[in-house]
Amino acid sequence: MCVEASHKVFPEWQSLQASKVKSLHRTAFHFQPPKNWINDPNAPMYYNGIYHLFYQYNPYGSTWGNIVWAHSISTDMINWTPLDPAIYPSKPFDVNGTWSGSATILPGNKPVIVYTGVDGQNRQVQNIAFPKNLSDPFLREWVKPDYNPVIVADNGINASQFRDPTTAWLGQDGHWRFLVGTRRKHRGMVLLYKSKDFKYWWKVQHPLHSAAGTGMWECPDFYPVALEGEFGLETSVNDYGVKFVLKVSLDLTRYEYYTVGRYFEDQNRYVPDITSVDNGMGLRYDYGNFYASKTFFDYGKSRRILWGWANESDTADNDVSKGWAGIQTIPRKVWLDKSGKQLLQWPIKEINSLRGSDVHLRSVVLAKGGLVEVRPITAAQADVEVTFLIPNLHKAQAFDPSWVDPQQLCGQMGASVQGGIGPFGLLTLASKNLEEYTSVFFRVFRGIYKKHVVLMCSDQSRSSLRPEVYKPSFGGFVDLDLTDGVISLRSLIDHSAVESFGAGGKTCITSRVYPTLATNEDAHLFAFNNGTEAVTILKLSAWNMNKPRIN
The mean pLDDT value of the chain amounts to 95
Closest listed residue to residue 84, CA positions, set 152, 141, 26, 16: 141
Comparing 12-21, 102-111, 346-355, the range with the smallest average pLDDT is 12-21
Comparing 243-252, 370-379, 441-450, the range with the smallest average pLDDT is 441-450
Closest listed residue to residue 194, CA positions, set 181, 204, 207: 204
Helix (H, G, I), strand (E, B) or coil at 56: strand
Helix (H) or strand (E) holding 525: strand 524-529
How far does the chain reach from its first CA to its final CA, in angstroms?
Answer: 30
Helix (H, G, I), strand (E, B) or coil at 382: strand
Instruction: Read off the pLDDT of each residue in 345-352 and give the average, rounded to a whole number.
Output: 98
Question: Which sign does the torsion angle of CA 357, 363, 364, 366 carry?
Answer: positive
pLDDT band per the 50, 70, 90 thresholds, residue 3 = very low
Euclidean distance between CA atoms 521 and 65, whole angstroms: 35
Euclidean distance between CA atoms 183 and 128, whole angstroms: 23
Class of domain 356-545: mainly beta
- Residue 260 reports pLDDT greater than 90: yes
Look up residue 379 and give its DSSP letter: T
- The residue type at 382: A
- Residue 336 reports pLDDT greater than 80: yes
Euclidean distance between CA atoms 303 and 30, whole angstroms: 20
**Inter-residue contact 98 to 54 (CB < 8 Å):** no
pTM of the model: 0.96
Helix (H, G, I), strand (E, B) or coil at 503: coil
So where are the chain's domains? 36-349, 356-545
**Inter-residue contact 493 to 429 (CB < 8 Å):** yes
Euclidean distance between CA atoms 382 and 347, whole angstroms: 14
Look up residue 285 and give its DSSP letter: S
Backbone angles phi, psi at 52, to 5 degrees: -115, 135
Closest listed residue to residue 492, CA positions, set 371, 363, 365, 345: 345
Backbone angles phi, psi at 271, to 5 degrees: -125, 115
Euclidean distance between CA atoms 169 and 60, whole angstroms: 36
> What does the pLDDT read at residue 544?
98
Instruction: Read off the pLDDT of each residue in 331-356 and give the average, rounded to a whole number.
Output: 98
36-349 carries CATH number 2.115.10.20: yes
Query: What are 110-137's pLDDT values in tens digits?
Result: 999 999 999 999 999 999 999 999 999 9
Q: Which residue(s) pair with 453 in the sheet?
A: 445
Euclidean distance between CA atoms 144 and 184, whole angstroms: 30
Residues 6+ apart with CB under 8 A from 44: 51, 52, 53, 54, 103, 294, 295, 296, 305, 307
Query: What are 532-550's pLDDT values in tens digits?
Result: 999 999 999 999 999 999 9
Euclidean distance between CA atoms 456 and 444, whole angstroms: 9
Closest listed residue to residue 510, CA positions, set 437, 454, 440: 440
**Inter-residue contact 149 to 169 (CB < 8 Å):** no
Helix (H, G, I), strand (E, B) or coil at 520: helix
Helix (H) or strand (E) holding 320: helix 316-322
> What does the pLDDT read at residue 14?
64
> What does the pLDDT read at residue 20?
78
Neighbours of 197 (CB within 10 A): 8
> What does the pLDDT read at residue 2?
35
**Inter-residue contact 304 to 334 (CB < 8 Å):** yes
Catalytic residues: 40
Helix (H, G, I), strand (E, B) or coil at 495: coil
- The residue type at 323: G
> What does the pLDDT read at residue 1?
32
Query: What are 389-438's pLDDT values in tens digits?
Result: 999 998 999 999 999 999 999 999 999 999 999 999 999 999 999 999 99
Helix (H) or strand (E) holding 112: strand 110-118
Question: Which sign does the torsion angle of CA 215, 217, 223, 226 carry?
Answer: negative
